[in-house]
Amino acid sequence: MLFQLYGSTAMTQLLGWVLVFAGLVILNEIGRRTKIGGIVLFVIIPAVLTIYFITIQAGLFGGHSNQTYEYMNGWFHYAKLYAADIGVVGFLMIKYKWGIGKKEWFKPWPFVIVAINILIAVVSDFESAIRAYQITGDFSGAWWASNEGVFLYGGWWNIVNGIAGLINIFCMTGWWGIYSSKKKDDMLWPDMTIWFIVAYDIWNFEYTYCNLPTHTWYCGVALLLAPTFANALWNKGGWIQNRAMTLATWCMFAQVLPLFQLSNTFSVLPSLYGGATKAGVKALDLYNAAITCHTTGASAGDAIANFGITANPTAQGVVAMLAIIANVVCISVIIKRSIEQKKCPYTKEIWVGTRDYEQAMSRAE
């Protein structure tokens, strides 16, 4: 099993997942279907939140006791939120042809922002593997505590997934093939077909599973499935816009209410923390212990053992292998098609003629 989803809180954990998934899908529809919806969700609300975050740092709204400061004050969380939102604003500019959004040179913006986000994740994977190596002298696996209050079990799976992420960047094709939909509800990237989406989703799930394990029930399952669900059923070609909007929405929610995914009611632990749920250990318990280890330099392995937890990295290894296989297959098909068509897969669109591409293009202006 991937998750320890059983016991007295199983129903509320499932309910939490359904609420997050449904909320992301609904808010994505509000943001994509109308200009005012996009502006409110991804310009006005982030601006208000920025003021809120600054005032927290100044001691207002509870200051250092505010849950945003206490649980989400690391640079990574803010960087992820604003990177996602800046990406969305760029997509809105392209969709509505605002300012530089009308320019041909700006069309690769979706590739640039996605590539940057993938690289950030790849660095995190490699960092975890290096931390484990510093402890054991090999990549067989070791516990370490991050500055974000998470016990991570780094190992060879991080290296494999990091390589998969690097390959995934080059699985994005047709960088200049970016269009507005006829109804102005979507920015379309027709060359981003199911081949890339599947390879990305498996890789990104493994990234969250390895590096954000106490959050991955939501950010690694609900958050990944929401844009894929929408793209599959009603806005073909709009996956990357769906992904950016749902990611920005989730990051804002998680930044303001981080205890939702750490609470005893809604938190779900992955199988990595072997025996944790049976021992009554919760995500918030692990967070507090990890912060202590990080600040004091105490052994993460000893802290985990004190909880009665045994590392179970089987799922990490299996999904890492699936991620590398999916991305190797995807890039191989891209190379094959580009050779057959005598096209550069990055300056030209190579999925022309496929079902996904043609359905997306039928919606384009």
Please spell the DSSP secondary structure of 227-263, one letter per residue.
Answer: HHHHHHHT-TT-HHHHHHHHHHHHHHHHHH-GGGGTS
Residue 52: what pLDDT? Answer: 96
CA-nearest of 249, 240, 200 to 80 is 249
Q: Which two tokens stand for residue 331?
A: 């890039």
The pLDDT value recorded for residue 6 is 82
Asked if the structure places residue 229 within a domain, the reply is yes
For the segment 23-37, the average pLDDT, to the nearest whole number, is: 96
Q: Is residue 2 included in any domain, yes or no? A: no
Is 66 part of a structural domain of the chain?
A: yes
Structure confidence at residue 30 (pLDDT)? 96
- How many CB atoms sit inside 10 A of residue 103's CB? 12
Residue type, 263: S
What pLDDT is recorded for position 74? 83
347/45 Cα distance (integer angstroms): 35
pLDDT of 242 reads 96
How many folded domains does the chain comprise? 1
Going by C-beta distance under 8 Å and a sequence separation of 6 or more, which residues neighbour residue 236?
Answer: 356, 359, 360, 363
Is residue 364 over pLDDT 90? yes
Averaged pLDDT, 14-43: 96
Residue 107 pLDDT level (bands cut at 50, 70, 90):
very high
Average pLDDT over residues 322-336: 98
The CA-atom distances, in angstroms, between 318 and each of 14, 121, 170, 189 are 24, 19, 23, 31
At residue 190 the predicted structure's pLDDT band, cuts being 50, 70 and 90, is very high
- Using alpha carbons, select from 208, 235, 210, 213 the residue that is nearest to residue 224: 208
- How far apart (Å, rounded) are the C-alpha atoms in residues 33 and 44? 17
Task: Give the residue-averaged pLDDT of 313-327.
Answer: 98
The number of CA neighbours under 13 Å toward the Cβ of 270 is 29
Please tell me the predicted confidence (pLDDT) of residue 177. Answer: 97
Give the chain's mean pLDDT. Answer: 95
Per-residue pLDDT band for 362 (boundaries 50, 70, 90) equals very high
**Residue 8: which pLDDT band, with cuts at 50, 70 and 90?**
confident
Q: What is the mean pLDDT of residues 154-174?
A: 98
pTM for the full predicted model: 0.95
Classify residue 4: in a domain, yes or no.
Answer: no
Q: Which residues pair with 143 in a beta bridge?
A: 153
* pLDDT tens per residue, range 240-273: 999 999 999 999 999 999 999 998 899 999 999 9
pLDDT of residue 234: 93
- Give the residue from 311, 215, 307, 227 showing the smallest Cα distance to 266: 215
- The residue behind tokens 């979507």 is 186
The reply to whether 225 falls in a domain is yes
The pLDDT of 220-246, averaged and rounded, is 96
pLDDT digits (tens, 9 = 90+) for 63-73: 999 999 999 88
Residue-level pLDDT at 73:
86
In a domain, 1, yes or no: no
**Mean pLDDT of the 279-286 span:** 93
CA angle 135–139–143, rounded 5-degree value: 45
Neighbours of 242 (CB within 10 A): 23
Q: How many Cα atoms sit within 13 Å of 343 on the Cβ side?
A: 17
Average pLDDT over residues 84-104: 96
Element (H, E) at 120: helix 109-136
- Mean per-residue pLDDT, 48-53: 97
Is the predicted pLDDT of residue 43 greater than 90, yes or no? yes
CB-based burial label for 48 (10 Å; 0-12, 13-18, 19+): exposed
Burial, 349: exposed, middle or buried (Cβ in 10 Å; 0-12, 13-18, 19+)?
Answer: buried
In which domain, by residue range, is 208 found? 10-361
Q: How confident is the model at residue 38, as a pLDDT?
A: 96
pLDDT at 75 over 90: no
pLDDT of residue 87: 95
